Every structure is written in structure tokens, then in C-alpha cells.
Amino acid sequence: MSGLDLVRRPRRLRTTSGIRSLVRETRLSADALVYPLFVVEGHGVRREISSMPGVFQLSVDEAVRETAAARADGVRAVLLFGLPGGKDDTGSAAADPAAPVQSAIRALREQCADVTVVTDVCLCEYTSHGHCGVLDGERILNDVTVEHLVHAAVSHAEAGAHIVAPSDMMDGRVAAIRAALDARGFDDVAIMSYAAKYCSAFYGPFREAVDSAPAFGDRRTHQMDPANTDEALREVALDLEEGADIIMVKPALPYLDVIQRVKSTFHQPTAAYQVSGEYAMLKAAAQLNWLDEARAMLESLTAIHRAGADIIITYYAREAARALAEQSGD
């Protein structure tokens, strides 16, 4: 016999695709994916977002078509964002029953009955200044903003949303939304809170998608400092106490340590959002042929899942679901 006298040879379990799939520890499934959609006014509108190739602003009819196509690919949940016809100081269109998101919820519940409808609850897409709340000078007023968020969440529930997802990072909004939903008989509507949402440069392309870049200043007074993780646990603990059913970490790939700490500390349904900038980086590198896009996509999503995310919100949902269906495992 030549070579080393080894008893333990980890490579044994990597010799064939079949063996590798037997010992695989993390299995990504399309069931875990949530597909974000940007809903606009009009009919027959399908407008690509330049910094997010393959992602479109869609009118309600097109959002229904896109959801049906996603369902056919194996995606079972969508997350709706809206662009209103008009913006104002307080983002009043956020709670308008006739606005694109509320209309899309009703259409999807009717025409895509087996798809779970999640809605983003925030004011930034609806305010003329692009901030997530009501302002007093340059200060975002927490408690007044929460009242507006509650109206928006209730309007989503009235339209038929299964899950509302407050993304504003105001204090106390989960409890206020829970109480308002319950008072109106919507005790089955779940809350997925953006609990540990960081003040991130990776939201850049999203702000182009919904035209919500703040007119002045930034979001540092409410979104979290990227340097902190103990604070993420405090935010998550508060949202759970207030009644959140699912808690989210956002962005995803640069915050795997936070996902892992949140999951291993609380053992609650945990979501992670692979945000617009994460998507845009992969797309841009793929367009330059600098990365194998399909592999980089699945590797990133697997890493997010491996870190502890049960649910992954991703613009890649359709592509990933198709790739997973094709893949027999290598």
C-alpha cells in the first residue's frame, strides 16, 4: 500500500452525487421562498427596473400574471410593495383601499387562491419626502407614524392579506398593529416584522424601484447600525413580545451571523431578506461573465438557509425554484 495510512477519509462521502446528496445537511426548497413584487397603477404595465434586471414594476393585472407564473415555477408566496399614483407628506395613499397594493391583494386572493399574500407595511413608498414616517422638521415622529402604519396594515387585512410585514422600524408598531387587527376580527392575519433591519447601502436599487430615496438625510435614526448584533437580539425580543409571528433579518448575506444568533436564541420562524443590492451584485457580475449566476445564486440562498433562515425573501425566487426543480443534486 502506498501513501498515507488514513482511517478517516472525509472525501469518501464526496465521491458521487448520490452520496453527496445523502449526507447533505441543508436542503433548500422552493417552499421557503417569498417573491417580492412592485405594484403600480394602470393596466398592462410591465416596466423593468434598470438596476434590477429581470424585476419589473407591474400593474395589478400583470402582477396576477407574474404570480401565476411564479406559482407554476413552484413559488408559493409573494411580498407586495406599492407605488401610489400620488405621494404626500403623510403617505396617506398607504391606507387607500383603491391603491395598487390593496387592489393587487384582492385580485391575487381571487385569481391565485393558493398563493400566500404578504404585504410590506411602510410609508416610505408613499411620502413625498421618501422617509418612513411623518416628519416634524427633519425628525421622524415615532408614535404618530405608528398610527399611520396601523391604518395601512388594517387596509391590507381588509383586502385579504394573509401576512402583514411592517418594515419601518418604528418602536411599538407590532403591538399596535396586532391590537388593531384583533379589534377588527383579523386575529388570523399574521405579522412578519422586519425586526433586525439594518441601515444598509444594499437597499439602493430598491429605492429606484419605488422612488423612495429620502429627499434629505438618511435612515440612521430608525434602522440599525450595521456594527451591532446584541441590539438585533433586543429588537427581535421586543417584536416577539409585541406579538410578531415571524421575525426577519435584513439584508441577508452580509448578516449571516445575525441570522444565526436570532435563530439559535429564539427558535422562532425566522425570515431573511436577500435585498435588492445583493441581487444587483450577482446580476451585474453575471452580465460581465464574472460569475456563474445559477451557482452563485443557489450558493447564496443555501448559505442564508444554512445560517438559520426558514424563509427567504428573494428577487431570485422564480429562477431559484426552477433551478431547484431541475437539480438532482451534484
Rounded Cα distance, 301 and 272, in Å: 10
Q: Could you say whether residue 93 binds ligand PBG (CB under 6 A)?
A: no
Pairing of strands 163-166, 190-197: parallel
Where does residue 156 rank: exposed (0-12), middle (13-18), buried (19+ CB within 10 A)?
buried
Q: Which stretch binds ligand PBG (CB under 6 A): 66-74, 106-114, 117-125, 236-244?
A: 117-125
Rounded Cα distance, 228 and 244, in Å: 21
Pairing of strands 139-140, 246-250: unpaired
- Cβ at position 289, least distance to ligand PBG in Å: 25
Residue 128 sits at φ, ψ, to 5 deg, of: -65, -25
Nearest residue (CB) to ligand PBG, 152 versus 154: 152
Rounded Cα distance, 247 and 268, in Å: 8
The closest alpha carbon to 46, from 68, 61, 31, 33, belongs to 61
* One residue of 126, 198, 203, 316 binding ligand PBG per CB under 6 A: 203
Give how far Cα 157 sits from Cα of 63, 115, 121, 177, Å: 19, 15, 11, 11
Nearest residue (CB) to ligand PBG, 37 versus 275: 275
Q: Which amino acid is at 198?
A: Y
197 is a catalytic site residue:
yes
Nearest residue (CB) to ligand PBG, 186 versus 203: 203
Where does residue 268 rank: exposed (0-12), middle (13-18), buried (19+ CB within 10 A)?
middle
Nearest residue (CB) to ligand PBG, 59 versus 276: 276
Angle at alpha carbon of residue 23, lines to 267 and 74, rounded to 5°? 65
- Provide the 3-class DSSP secondary structure of residue 313: strand
- Cβ at position 6, least distance to ligand PBG in Å: 47
CA 110 to chain centre: 23
Number of residues that bind ligand PBG (CB under 6 A): 10
* One residue of 62, 66, 73, 120 binding ligand PBG per CB under 6 A: 120
Neighbours of 34 (CB within 10 A): 21
* One residue of 83, 99, 163, 275 binding ligand PBG per CB under 6 A: 275
- Cβ at position 123, least distance to ligand PBG in Å: 8
Residue 166 pairs with which residues in a beta bridge? 121
* One residue of 40, 104, 122, 232 binding ligand PBG per CB under 6 A: 122
Rounded Cα distance, 254 and 202, in Å: 10
Nearest residue (CB) to ligand PBG, 61 versus 285: 285
Residue 113 sits at φ, ψ, to 5 deg, of: -60, -30
Interacting positions 148-187 with ligand PBG (CB under 6 A): 167
Q: Could you say whether residue 124 binds ligand PBG (CB under 6 A)?
A: yes
- Cβ at position 227, least distance to ligand PBG in Å: 18
87, 250, 263, 283: which one is catalytic?
Answer: 250
- Cβ at position 222, least distance to ligand PBG in Å: 9
* One residue of 198, 206, 255, 316 binding ligand PBG per CB under 6 A: 206
Q: Which stretch binds ligand PBG (CB under 6 A): 56-64, 173-181, 199-207, 230-238?
A: 199-207
Pairing of strands 46-49, 52-59: antiparallel
Q: Which stretch binds ligand PBG (CB under 6 A): 25-33, 116-124, 257-265, 290-298?
A: 116-124
Nearest residue (CB) to ligand PBG, 28 versus 124: 124
* One residue of 155, 276, 300, 314 binding ligand PBG per CB under 6 A: 276
Residues that bind ligand PBG (CB under 6 A): 120, 122, 124, 167, 203, 206-207, 219, 275-276
Active site residue ranges: 197, 250
